[in-house]
Structure 1
Amino acid sequence: MPSGILSGNINQYGDIDECLQAEAKYCLTYLNIKLSGTESHVLHTVHTLMHSHHAFRSTPQDPGHRVPRYSSMHWGVCVPKSCAPEDVENSLKKFADSVTQGTGLKATVQVNPEMCQVQTNEGLPYSTKFVGCLFLGLICLAAMATVYDFMDNKKDQKGLGNEILLAFSLKKNSQKLFSLDVPADDISSIHGIRLFNAVMLYFSHKSMAIFYNPYMNRTAMAEALGKPWTVIARAASLYTDPFIMMSGLLTAYSLGRQMQKHQKIDVMREIASRLLRLMPTLGGLILFCTFILPYMGSGPQWPLVINHHAEICKNHWWRNMLFIHNYFGFKNMCLTHTHHIGIDTQLFMVSPLLVYIVYRWPKQGLWTLLTIGLLSTVLRFYTSYIMQLNLVSQMFNTADYSYILPTHRASVYVMGIALGYLLRQLGRDVKLKSGHLTLGWFIAFAMLYQSMIQPSKMGSRFYVYDRMDAANYAAFAPITWCLFFSWIIFTSHTGNGGIISKLASWRGFQISTRLAYTFYLTQFPVFFYNVGRVRHTDTYSLQLLVKSFII
């Protein structure tokens, strides 16, 4: 038994490299310790401390490839190569039963075959070599296009072949990436708001990733993360809502220009443009995570967070390319973090109809948007209340039955459509009185308080779950959070912005907007590459948390 159990030091990986070099089999086993018919206060206290105050609750049945099974003890076991996973499980069950007999504790053991590893000298499969050649070919094409771009002195000669080749030029793309020219019809404040939410979402995702790692003082870590200020990392679900709202805003603003000029929308062109922007990068990432990444490292959890996910992508990649993968739940989803792309694309498909109705029949159109928003809000509230959803003990159910469904996220999208219509109709020159601006900012900060600060109590380890609190948060926090940013966008675009609006509208933020999609796609593969390679127990500290945000 390891030392420091009361400090949460319950995950013991052992030495995987020594085990495999000895031509043995390494298995990362899962042990779940539950209280069994005891009223002992001391035993309850011990159970709580060893499980780090139950900061996150999980079950052995939870898929662990994207959210850790936080309640399980992970023990590395080195056994002869001839031992089957069933042999290891039976042996550990006998040991656990003998240790816990008569103590008021009940231990269950789980040994998944995929978590048992042996050293192999097999070469790379042909599929990996083929995909590797594809990426190598793209690198060579980019190098060739860049050299051609530097050497070509006949810039006036246009041709399809020239344009296709130069599309891969690092020189040309760098000039576009770092350009600070502001388009005439740009909504500048969106870039700063997008960067803020992207950074906060990165912090939240990275925090979730480090929960996979074993810490000697995990109980202290849980106590630190239960402080009210850590709501900024726990509010991951909120940070995606402004992206959905701004997507509706930009779609309505862009399609509104077509309606004003031509009284119609070129739907097929808009759909084709969107698919050409999203699919190549998404497809490339699926290929990399499925065929390349599994052979770039190893570690105790590598089969779970890398190999297991690659197998899911081999079987279900087509769902992602059809943008319907968010309907199949986290357990069977390839690249689980891309559920947002599915939601956004599905909402985008109905946006031309909504925008057309709003511009053709403004009154009826706005009432339609309001009705859709209300229905979506009621649906999210009802589901959260009836199923008692929350992001701690019901994380997977919350995701599967609410968070990844467009019907539950449509409220903020139609808010964006309404705002896009308003900005297009009012233009940039709208003068508001100082009293109106003061009232608007007061309401905006009240919305910020309601969405971020007021719910912070729900993260405390002393908080007792209340499903009314959870339902209110799920239904209304996304709306109030997006209303805060909507006010910043409105005042900035109409010439009424103050210091916050000016900061959000800094033109340098355009660069982050151009990087946002690939930044969003690639962060999780990097996180779990690092998680899969962890081999030893570390000591948690705030400095380690800050360092983990950077590396």
Structure 2
Amino acid sequence: MAIQVLGVLLLALKLLAMVRAEPWTQAPLLPVLMAASQNIPGEQCRQDYSLFLNQLENFTLWAVEMFDASTKVPEGLLAGNSYHLGHFDQCMGISANLGERYIRGQYCIADIRFQSKEFKLPCSRELQPENSAWQKLQWCGDPSKVRRDTVHWALCVPASCSPEDVHTALSEALADLEPSLGVTFNVTVPPEQCSRHEERIQLGASAVTLVCLAIVISLLFITSTLFDFVCCGGNSEKTEVLPGGEAADCNKCLPVREYFLIFSARRNLPKLITLVPSQPAFDFSHALRFAFMTCIIMGHRLLLYIDQPFLNAEDYEAMFHGMGDMILANGATVVDLYFMLSGLLLGYTLLETFKKDGKVNFLLVILNFIVRIMPVYMLVVWFHTSLLSQLGSGPFWKAAVHKEEQRCIKYWWTNLIFIHNYWDPQNMCLFPSWYLATHFHMFIICLLLTMLLSYRPKLGWIMFGFAVILSVLIPFFNIWWYQLDPIIKPFPDFGPDIRNNKVFRMIYVKTHNRAAPYLVGTITGILLFKSRNSTFRLSKITSYIIFYGAWLVGIFVILSCYVFFIPDRQYNAIESGLYGSLHHISIALVASAIFFSVTFGHMNVYCKICSSPIFVTLSRLSFNAYLLHSTAQLYDQGSLRLPRYLSFYVTTWDVTGDITIAYLLALAMALMVEMPLRHLFKMLIFGRKVKKEES
């Protein structure tokens, strides 16, 4: 029976080689069977389908193109190739003016789930070649396996047909096959999986405004840079320090030069490259920031692969079954290192400010933080709400890009006030932005705790200790109470969107579950500041032992999640809670040990390498790269026309492209938006003339 079903599904005809119409219009192919349905609800759709059949018999171009653009024969079902995408652009390009009516093509992906009425075989991981193919096709609930009982079938239909019409026609066509095949079919045609040419609308007011703003900023950038080179480049007088430390006197050139020249690339670019030596741990962190960001971009690319169709599902299924695979499976741990680094900088710089000025302006610190991240962040959100959906097309464009646009239109305000990791996280705009919300919350908390420690040291340390304990107990309780996995498992059952994952929504993005690394980083920064004048130094051997030992411990923490990937292993809520709560703080403590060994050990060579101009520049661009890389990946996801073949080469190529595009865009945003606005903020706060120390 299985052979009969596959025989129907895999029936191949050399369509365009045939001259006569009868053999193929009578063949049991879904595009033909659907067109013959008399129960289609839409009258116009039913008439257009009838016309399609008549014109197909006459071998008329538009009808043959519509037939040709649909999937007729799936292949590789047993290998897990469930997406059969036809030809999107050919379908969308169909346009025929027939006088009384106008025919256009519409591309739909129907989800067809099938199940044998007769065969229900025991599930087994070890499949024998002589066994029934149904044993491999049936779904046994294993999340590490790709479903082979579902086919995503591309159909090119008349644009007058609604998703309901397509669903009715396809269900009727398959129902006629059920009795003879002994198979049941369940059909769904989600509206977001149907695309028509008419849906490409004109740019709205928001998109036009964004384009105009981009043009204005670009003109300011170009003219300011040219003016700086032409008018100020030859002036050797240095009578005034501008924001950022640069000095020039262009009074005769432009009276409002201070405000105009903040857009100059000639002045801003050196600030990205120049390193002012400070704390060894800070110098060492530049290369780490770039390395961690590379890992994050690669991790998001791997998550994207789960969302997209791929040919070699069996190769993907073989992943995450070995200890070494845990580097990828648990790669999200690098985010904890970013939290730790952020806390480290906060703790050290706040005490440094308090030591110098005797106080910390709480509101000014918050305002500076917002000015630092908000302009680029809101521009990216704005781009997602207005312009991105108009820049491409593809089989998954509506399901990916349009859906993201609707989320951002509805919930952009939650991103603006940093509550989107709590307010309906399943529909948050720009999913990587959860990090910014958590970062902002922890910035406020650690800022208050550090200020308390500055004024009341004993009480401050008590509150820090209490906060660290809570940061471990809360995620443990949540994982134990809700019976959740300790980490997000990147299995094929992950779904089309990470935001649908329960662990992501309830554990991963919540500030109270991710607080530990930030707290540890802040404490580390405080301790490093208090010991800045210490003459204590580790011996060379001891510093190497701590440095390399910490890296080994960190790798062990990451690899130890392997126990949760062992097939058929019984779930233990306490065990999951312990790992889910302790691995975050463990990674932060590992990073803390590394920074102490760098500060008090003999790691000067590493510090020099990690603080070289290339790493300093890439480090300073990493925040913008984080914001921008997902936009390019989302575009790629929506515009994909064919299933991918996953391999090390393909992954390397894609990740390299992601990193290159992200950092080029990050450089442009830094020079044209971030740095000019930060300088403008300093000029407005400190006045036109900014002392070098204040800069």
Establish whether TM, by shorter chain, passes 0.5: yes
Match of 2:419 among 314, 317, 324: 324
Distance 1:35 1:199, change over 3 A: farther
Q: How far 1:184 moved relative to its partner?
A: 6.9
Residue 453 of structure 1 is matched in structure 2 by 559
Inter-partner Cα distance in structure 2 for 1:90 and 1:498 = 71
Residue 511 of structure 2 is matched in structure 1 by 406
Residue 109 of structure 2 is matched in structure 1 by 28
CA RMSD of aligned residues (A): 3.1
Inter-partner Cα distance in structure 2 for 1:438 and 1:539 = 42
- For the pair 1:243 / 2:338, whether they are aligned, the reply is yes
- For the pair 1:80 / 2:158, whether they are aligned, the reply is yes
Residue 91 of structure 1 is matched in structure 2 by 169
1:405-427 deviation per Cα after TM superposition (whole angstroms, max 9, x unaligned)? 11111111111111011001011
The amino acid that maps onto 1:84 is S
1:53-108 deviation per Cα after TM superposition (whole angstroms, max 9, x unaligned)? 643789xxxxxxxxxxx996432222222211112223334455566679897654
The amino acid that maps onto 2:385 is T
Match of 1:5 among 77, 86, 91: 77
Match of 1:46 among 136, 159, 167: 136
Which structure is higher in RCO with an 8 Å CA cutoff and minimum separation 6? 1
Inter-partner Cα distance in structure 1 for 2:305 and 2:172 = 32
Distance 1:284 1:46, change over 3 A: same
Inter-partner Cα distance in structure 2 for 1:280 and 1:56 = 42
Q: How far 1:271 moved relative to its partner?
A: 0.8
The amino acid that maps onto 1:78 is C
Between 527-536 and 384-393, report the one with greater CA deviation: 384-393
Q: How far 1:361 moved relative to its partner?
A: 3.4
Inter-partner Cα distance in structure 2 for 1:323 and 1:182 = 33
Inter-partner Cα distance in structure 2 for 1:101 and 1:368 = 70
Distance 1:516 1:326, change over 3 A: same
| Kept after mapping to 1: 8 A contact 2:114/2:186 | yes
Distance 1:385 1:281, change over 3 A: same
Distance 1:157 1:84, change over 3 A: same
| Kept after mapping to 1: 8 A contact 2:464/2:519 | yes
Inter-partner Cα distance in structure 2 for 1:441 and 1:142 = 44
**In proportion to residue count, which structure has more helix?**
1
Inter-partner Cα distance in structure 2 for 1:170 and 1:34 = 63
Residue 397 of structure 1 is matched in structure 2 by 502
Between 227-236 and 473-482, report the one with greater CA deviation: 227-236
Distance 1:360 1:183, change over 3 A: same
Matches within 5 A, 1:397-476: 397-427=502-532, 429-433=535-539, 437=543, 440-441=546-547, 444-445=550-551, 447-459=553-565, 465-476=571-582
Inter-partner Cα distance in structure 2 for 1:383 and 1:178 = 44
Distance 1:545 1:461, change over 3 A: farther
Q: How far 1:48 moved relative to its partner?
A: 6.3
Q: How far 1:213 moved relative to its partner?
A: 2.9
**Equivalent position SS for 2:387:** helix
Q: How far 1:470 moved relative to its partner?
A: 3.1
Residue 144 of structure 1 is matched in structure 2 by 223
1:150-171 deviation per Cα after TM superposition (whole angstroms, max 9, x unaligned)? 1123532479932222221222
| Kept after mapping to 1: 8 A contact 2:321/2:565 | yes
Distance 1:367 1:436, change over 3 A: farther
Matches within 5 A, 1:37-436: 38-41=120-123, 42=132, 45-47=135-137, 54-55=143-144, 73-95=151-173, 107-120=185-198, 122-153=201-232, 154=235, 155-157=248-250, 161-183=256-278, 187-224=282-319, 226-390=321-485, 391-392=488-489, 396-427=501-532, 429-433=535-539
Inter-partner Cα distance in structure 2 for 1:460 and 1:332 = 32
Distance 1:487 1:3, change over 3 A: same
The amino acid that maps onto 2:402 is N
| Kept after mapping to 2: 8 A contact 1:228/1:456 | yes
Inter-partner Cα distance in structure 2 for 1:202 and 1:523 = 7
Distance 1:196 1:184, change over 3 A: closer
Q: How far 1:269 moved relative to its partner?
A: 0.9
Inter-partner Cα distance in structure 2 for 1:43 and 1:216 = 19
Residue 540 of structure 1 is matched in structure 2 by 646
| Kept after mapping to 2: 8 A contact 1:189/1:493 | no
| Kept after mapping to 2: 8 A contact 1:8/1:49 | no
**Equivalent position SS for 1:28:** strand
Distance 1:123 1:258, change over 3 A: closer
Inter-partner Cα distance in structure 2 for 1:102 and 1:319 = 54
Q: How far 1:464 moved relative to its partner?
A: 5.7
The amino acid that maps onto 2:468 is G
| Kept after mapping to 1: 8 A contact 2:92/2:105 | yes
The amino acid that maps onto 1:24 is G
Between 186-195 and 282-291, report the one with greater CA deviation: 186-195
Residue 598 of structure 2 is matched in structure 1 by 492
| Kept after mapping to 1: 8 A contact 2:174/2:185 | yes
**Equivalent position SS for 2:161:** coil
| Kept after mapping to 2: 8 A contact 1:30/1:73 | yes
**Equivalent position SS for 1:352:** helix
Inter-partner Cα distance in structure 2 for 1:358 and 1:105 = 70
Inter-partner Cα distance in structure 2 for 1:20 and 1:512 = 41
| Kept after mapping to 1: 8 A contact 2:112/2:187 | yes
Inter-partner Cα distance in structure 2 for 1:81 and 1:397 = 37
Give the aligned length.
539
Could you tell me the TM-score, scaled by structure 2's length? 0.71
Between 209-218 and 491-500, report the one with greater CA deviation: 491-500
**Equivalent position SS for 1:75:** strand
Residue 62 of structure 1 is matched in structure 2 by none
| Kept after mapping to 2: 8 A contact 1:373/1:412 | no
| Kept after mapping to 2: 8 A contact 1:203/1:233 | no
**Equivalent position SS for 2:156:** strand
Inter-partner Cα distance in structure 1 for 2:271 and 2:114 = 56
**Equivalent position SS for 1:325:** coil
| Kept after mapping to 2: 8 A contact 1:50/1:219 | no
**Equivalent position SS for 1:187:** helix
Could you tell me the TM-score, scaled by structure 1's length? 0.88
Inter-partner Cα distance in structure 2 for 1:94 and 1:216 = 29
Inter-partner Cα distance in structure 2 for 1:100 and 1:328 = 45
Extract unaligned runs of 5+ from structure 2. Answer: 1-8, 10-73, 95-103, 124-131, 236-247, 658-695
Match of 1:530 among 633, 636, 640: 636
Inter-partner Cα distance in structure 2 for 1:523 and 1:117 = 26
Q: How far 1:6 moved relative to its partner?
A: 1.1
| Kept after mapping to 2: 8 A contact 1:189/1:506 | no
1:489-513 deviation per Cα after TM superposition (whole angstroms, max 9, x unaligned)? 1121234437666654555421112
Inter-partner Cα distance in structure 2 for 1:35 and 1:180 = 67
**Equivalent position SS for 1:82:** coil
Inter-partner Cα distance in structure 1 for 2:524 and 2:581 = 20
| Kept after mapping to 1: 8 A contact 2:75/2:81 | yes
Q: How far 1:463 moved relative to its partner?
A: 5.8
